[in-house]
A = this chain, B = another copy of it.
């Protein structure tokens, strides 16, 4: 049982601090080199897909078309059907990309800037463009937004997704608010699942901007650690509310097969897909269809994908449980940190006392454990309360993860005690 640090006297805190400093010094002496920074799958997660590389790969699509040659811009019919089956999307509204869904998001934003959408003014010609950024969120989303000079407005996350009262208020009057980033299932980094009500409100809210767009990055759409958690259908909700063109839906097999060589997709309304293809046909003759065939040969169908994701989960569960176990053992009841217990996704997010995140991450780094930079989960890398830290448990082996997490908890406590004594 841990003690509640807020109840300790200054002299008790001084004693705890000395003890923590000794333990920290022991870790420093071990010259660790551990990394919990990125949501990068571990080698054992890659190994389970290796029949992709070890077996002969097909050349021809089901319709006989030669996948070695140019063409089929929108992606192979079987690949679009696969994504459709897995995600409950009409394959006609799916466009297959290359190996990176981030690239599809970046390009979607670039097109909105340069060309606008559905007859609206290109965003680069407007005096001001703003984007809603639920935070804590995904640093690479914020980097894309910043790249294009779009002003980011931080929206707090709740247990059910972004604070929808605030979102609705922001989009209602101001037509320079052009969109919102969403990781609706197992949000990065907190693992929040958007409630049905949140999805409905996002789809149906009144927006001053006719070209308001939801960037629906369902990166962890099939990445359950335990039971299957369902997400409300954003397209059905948008269509029902009379906003059929509002959502751009992104997904990939990067964290299903190989992070560096998966297959990505973007889905949207028929009108949006036509517009995307109109530009994409100028940009490329087509994406890598052999990799689509290769991926499908391995995953086969929606059932095959489920089996693969169960294997992934069986590899990831022990890591998530270890992280949560050590957090519980070291920090529960101390009043120094709060965290959620995600049922899927790639991260555990932890909130320290206000003003302690940067110092915690600095301490960890100086003892050889690299975390995602404090602040990275907020727009402009500025966490207003300097408290959120993203823990990425997937890459290190279990043994290293245990060491890294023990050190991390010491760092949380040490940073907190010093803060409490300051």
A residues near B (Cβ < 8 Å) are 38, 40-41, 43, 46, 49-50, 53-59, 66-71, 98-100, 102-103, 106-107, 110, 113-114, 124, 140, 143-144, 147-148, 254, 258-261, 279, 282-291
Q: Contact between B40 and A70 (Cβ–Cβ < 8 Å)?
A: yes
Question: How far apart are A347's CB and chain B's nearest CB, in angstroms?
Answer: 15
Closest to A97 in B: B98
A15 CA to B147 CA, complexed, in Å = 68
Closest to A144 in B: B282
- Assess A279 versus B53: contact at CB under 8 Å? Given A38-B70, A285-B102: no
Q: Contact between B68 and A258 (Cβ–Cβ < 8 Å)?
A: yes
13 contacts between A and B (CB under 8 A): A46-B59, A53-B58, A69-B260, A100-B287, A102-B284, A103-B283, A106-B284, A114-B148, A143-B282, A147-B279, A260-B286, A260-B289, A261-B291
Closest to A262 in B: B288
Q: Contact between A283 and B114 (Cβ–Cβ < 8 Å)?
A: no
Question: How far apart are A249's CB and chain B's nearest CB, in angstroms?
Answer: 19
A285 CA to B222 CA, complexed, in Å = 21
Question: How far apart are A61's CB and chain B's nearest CB, in angstroms?
Answer: 11
Q: Contact between B260 and A290 (Cβ–Cβ < 8 Å)?
A: yes
Q: How many copies does the complex hold?
A: 2
Question: How far apart are A178's CB and chain B's nearest CB, in angstroms?
Answer: 16
Q: Contact between B56 and A41 (Cβ–Cβ < 8 Å)?
A: no
Q: Contact between A259 and B68 (Cβ–Cβ < 8 Å)?
A: yes
Q: Contact between A283 and B102 (Cβ–Cβ < 8 Å)?
A: yes
Instruction: From the candidates B40, B102, B288, name the one contacting A288 in the complex (CB within 8 A).
Output: B288
Given A38-B70, A114-B148, A261-B291, 4 more A-B residue pairs with CB atoms under 8 Å apart are A50-B59, A99-B287, A258-B290, A260-B289
Question: How far apart are A322's CB and chain B's nearest CB, in angstroms?
Answer: 21
A66 CA to B259 CA, complexed, in Å = 11
A103 CA to B280 CA, complexed, in Å = 9
Q: Contact between A57 and B53 (Cβ–Cβ < 8 Å)?
A: yes
Q: Contact between B100 and A284 (Cβ–Cβ < 8 Å)?
A: yes
Q: Contact between A69 and B259 (Cβ–Cβ < 8 Å)?
A: yes
A254 CA to B57 CA, complexed, in Å = 18
Q: Contact between B100 and A285 (Cβ–Cβ < 8 Å)?
A: yes
Residues of B contacting A54 with CB < 8 Å? 56-57
8 A-B pairs with the lowest CB-CB distances in the bound complex, closest first: A106-B283, A68-B258, A46-B68, A103-B284, A261-B290, A100-B284, A70-B259, A53-B57
Question: How far apart are A122's CB and chain B's nearest CB, in angstroms?
Answer: 8
A166 CA to B53 CA, complexed, in Å = 53
Instruction: From the candidates B43, B71, B110, B261, name the one contacting A114 in the complex (CB within 8 A).
Output: B110
Q: Contact between A43 and B66 (Cβ–Cβ < 8 Å)?
A: yes
Question: How far apart are A230's CB and chain B's nearest CB, in angstroms?
Answer: 28
Q: Contact between A260 and B102 (Cβ–Cβ < 8 Å)?
A: no
- Assess A99 versus B288: contact at CB under 8 Å? Given A40-B70, A41-B69: yes
Question: How far apart are A235's CB and chain B's nearest CB, in angstroms?
Answer: 26
A204 CA to B279 CA, complexed, in Å = 34
